[in-house]
Amino acid sequence: MVSSTSPMVVVANRLPFIITKDKDGNLVRKQCAGGLVTAVAPVVVETEGLWVGWSGLHKEDSTGEIPEADPLDQSPTAGLKSKQVIPVCLPKQQFDDYYNGCCNATFWPLFHSMPDRAIFQADKWEAYRQVNEEFAVLTVEAVKKLKESNPDSVPLVWLHDYHLMMAANSIRDMCDNLGLQINMAFFLHIPFPSWDIMRLFPWDDELLQGILGCDSVGFHVEDYCLNFIDCCQRRLGCRVDREQMLVEHNSRTVSVHPLPISIPYERFVSLAMKAPQVVKNHDQEQLLLGVDRLDYTKGLVHRILAFETLLKKHPEHIEHVTFLQVAVPSRTDVKEYQELKEELDQLIGRINGQFSTPNWSPIRYIYGCVSQEELAAFYRDSSVAVVTPLRDGMNLVAKEFVACQTGEPGVLILSPFAGAGSSMHEALLVNPYETNEFADVIHRALTMPKDERELRMKQLRRRERERDVNFWLTSFLKSVKSLSDDSISRGRL
């Protein structure tokens, strides 16, 4: 039986921090940005589990040593002790083929329904499978470690995201051979695409069978669950039950669960209560805020063009509204990301050149990672957050903004193409591809009466407070428990 005290092995491509050297040559931890780390790190700290993942170093330059957290570290991963961490260290070339060649170049665009950007190469797919095998071996080591300290336990192996869709069957086989009983779950942090998109991947059958190696499979929203079930039925001929969300494969029944991920809500509230004021040009200045990894799925260009249209259509906002975009560098080895960075630099330069006055520039652009304390201040002091991805699994920025709205209530503008769009009903929804309409929605948000803002924000905050990351974790644990209570997934269809 799985409870919150079951020992847990989280397996993800990345550890929740990367290891770098400080100026004196000492190894130090550096916080990573991204939805996965924000949500899962507190869970591993709380359950005293183990985390298997890449430290940012390759075999050529790693000793395998994991530094402890800096005593002043306030990040969500500060409580993770080095003995809880199992680093995956691979040769640079092999890792690059798997991570950039397959995960970033194939699965990321394909699963975000942008197939024109996806590249399919047999050698990169082979590297992906090999690296998943390496992760599987280290995961079994982690299971053994947990069993040594707690022989009667049934560890829960929790695989995360599109990097590790082929590890489950190897882990299961190795554990069976060693007589180690485990439960195994998979959670995807990005969308799961429709069958029409998935079938473009030349090895889609192997991939689906890889995921079905788990007992329980979770996605953010029901649509992604149904897409997955549909693919299993159409590609593998599995018997499925859409109502109960079950898939039968190789005489096992795999349960599928919509589990909308969330944030540590109270942590963001208290950060917002303590954060210093954001410096503005003048008291009446309204801030429009964007916070994203610099990624083509986030719709940054569309957003900035909509802001430009706003300034043209509503010049009364000139000198009164500033767009603050914080973009954290991401996957900087990939050509598409380098090109996007250049496009943004040029676009922002052009708009600032065109509209700036001696005392004001329309766009403040921070290209870098900022601390959660600073983010909380931006969220709290902004009038409007613009969260408008072209496609996004969930989007935690929308939820963090809402949690940090402890002062004057602001407005959330949200894309319906983010998973968050299906539950945050009081946001202003906008299709990011419709530039004119987008500009009008920004204008509406900037001029919305206080009572309407208050009403919308109150509802948004109430829902996010109730359905925070602990709710997500509890729902996940319940889904795994119900599966083991049903005496391990056999013959339920």
- Residues 141/326, Cβ–Cβ less than 8 Å: no
Considering the complex, state which of residue 184 and residue 403 has its C-beta at the smaller distance from ligand ADP.
Answer: 403
Q: Does 14 bind ligand G6P (CB under 6 A)?
A: yes
d(C-alpha 257, C-alpha 221), whole Å: 8
User: Which of ligand G6P, ligand ADP, none sits in contact with 396, Cβ below 5 to 8 A by type?
Assistant: ligand ADP
d(C-alpha 163, C-alpha 178), whole Å: 26
Q: How many residues of this chain interact with ligand G6P, rule: CB under 6 A?
A: 9
Q: Does 467 bind ligand G6P (CB under 6 A)?
A: no
Across 200-320, the runs of DSSP E, i.e. the strands, are: 216-219, 239-241, 246-249, 252-258, 286-293
The phi and psi torsions of 31 (rounded to 5 degrees) equal -65, 140
Considering the complex, state which of residue 378 and residue 438 has its C-beta at the smaller distance from ligand ADP.
Answer: 378
**Site stretch for ligand G6P (CB under 6 A), options 31-39, 267-275, 357-365, 441-449:** 31-39
Q: In what order do the strands lie in the sheet with 363-367?
A: 363-367, 321-328, 286-293, 384-387, 411-414, 428-429
Structure tokens at 221: 């929203």
**Residue number, nearest CB to ligand G6P:** 34
Q: Which residues are catalytic?
A: 189, 392
Site for ligand G6P in 175-234 (CB under 6 A): 189-190
Which residues contact ligand ADP (rule: CB under 6 A)?
33-35, 38, 291-293, 326, 328, 369-370, 375, 394-397, 400
User: Which of ligand G6P, ligand ADP, none sits in contact with 331, Cβ below 5 to 8 A by type?
Assistant: ligand G6P
Across 115-214, the runs of DSSP E, i.e. the strands, are: 156-160, 183-187
**Residue with token string 């829902």:** 463
Q: H or E segment at 20?
A: strand 17-21
Considering the complex, state which of residue 288 and residue 396 has its C-beta at the smaller distance from ligand ADP.
Answer: 396
Angle between helices 469-485 and 35-47 (to 10 degrees): 60
Considering the complex, state which of residue 102 and residue 294 has its C-beta at the smaller distance from ligand ADP.
Answer: 294
**Chosen residue from 97, 161, 308, 381 binding ligand G6P by CB under 6 A:** 161
User: Which of ligand ADP, ligand G6P, none sits in contact with 385, Cβ below 5 to 8 A by type?
Assistant: none
User: Which of ligand ADP, ligand G6P, none sits in contact with 226, Cβ below 5 to 8 A by type?
Assistant: none
The minimum distance between CB 12 and ligand G6P, in angstroms, equals 7
Structure tokens at 114: 């942008």
d(C-alpha 428, C-alpha 182), whole Å: 44
User: Which of ligand G6P, ligand ADP, none sits in contact with 78, Cβ below 5 to 8 A by type?
Assistant: none
Footprint on this chain of ligand G6P (rule: CB under 6 A)? 14, 34-36, 161, 189-190, 330-331
